[in-house]
Amino acid sequence: MQKALFLDRDGVINIDHGYVYKIEDFEFTEGIFELLRFFIEKGYLLFIVTNQSGIGRDYYSEEDFQVLTSWMLDEFKKENIDIISVHHCNHSPEKNCACRKPQTGMIDKILSQNVIDLGSSWLIGDKQSDIDLAKNSKIKNTIAIGERTIENTSLSFKTILECRDYFDDNKIKIL
Ligand SMILES: [Mg+2]
Ligand SMILES: [Zn+2]
């Protein structure tokens, strides 16, 4: 069984400017590459799970999302970061789909394709729905990023940079 790190995208990997779909608006958060490399060094598989209701709301297209995703994955590769797969929910909230976080559809899909030990896995998000997804999917460890008040999280940090520094100091013990 392998350990996994499940990542939200907007607000974690990139600065959340709201419905980001263009490459020129996609700004990696400071420290994210180093943080992800800590997890990779410790044997974690990386997955991205992202709500993209902007597609269902017609703010941008599925193709826009896919073009941005390929570019993002190339940038990660240049940084020696391999993402196993990217999963997105393209529905608007009214659809009440099974994949919009905190519903577990995206994690269920990942678990159908990979053998993951959820008890030693982590999820990083910036909204309550991310942390609730972890709880609903039985992903044991969570990190909340940002200024929002988020309940039931294992750890929380104002920024990815603070999170990176914490793991830099403690990764031997934690990961
Ligand atoms: Mg987010
Ligand atoms: Zn969905």
Domain residue limits at 75: 4-174
Q: Which ligand is closest to the CA of 126, given by its number?
A: 1
% of the chain residues with pLDDT over 90: 96
CATH of the domain at 63: 3.40.50.1000
Q: Is 29 exposed, middle or buried (0-12, 13-18, 19+ CB in 10 A)?
A: buried
At 175, the pLDDT band (50, 70, 90 cuts) reads confident
Distance (Å) from CA 104 to ligand 1 centroid: 16
Mean of the pLDDT values across residues 129-148?
98
- Cβ neighbour number for residue 116 with a 10 Å cutoff: 21
73-131 tens-digit pLDDT: 999 999 999 999 999 999 999 999 999 999 999 999 999 999 999 999 999 999 999 99
Domain count, the chain: 1
For 61, the token pair is: 């297209």
| Catalytic residue numbers, as ranges | 8, 10
Average pLDDT, the chain: 97
Question: Which residue did the predictor score with more confidence, 121 or 171?
Answer: 121
What is the arithmetic mean of pLDDT over 56-80? 98
Distance 130 CA to ligand 1 centre (A): 8
Q: Please state, in angstroms and rounded to a whole number, the distance separating the CA atoms of residues 48 and 117.
A: 17
Ligand 2 mean position, distance from CA 97 (Å): 5
| Residue 51 scores a pLDDT above 90 | yes
Cα separation of 10 and 53, whole Å?
Answer: 12
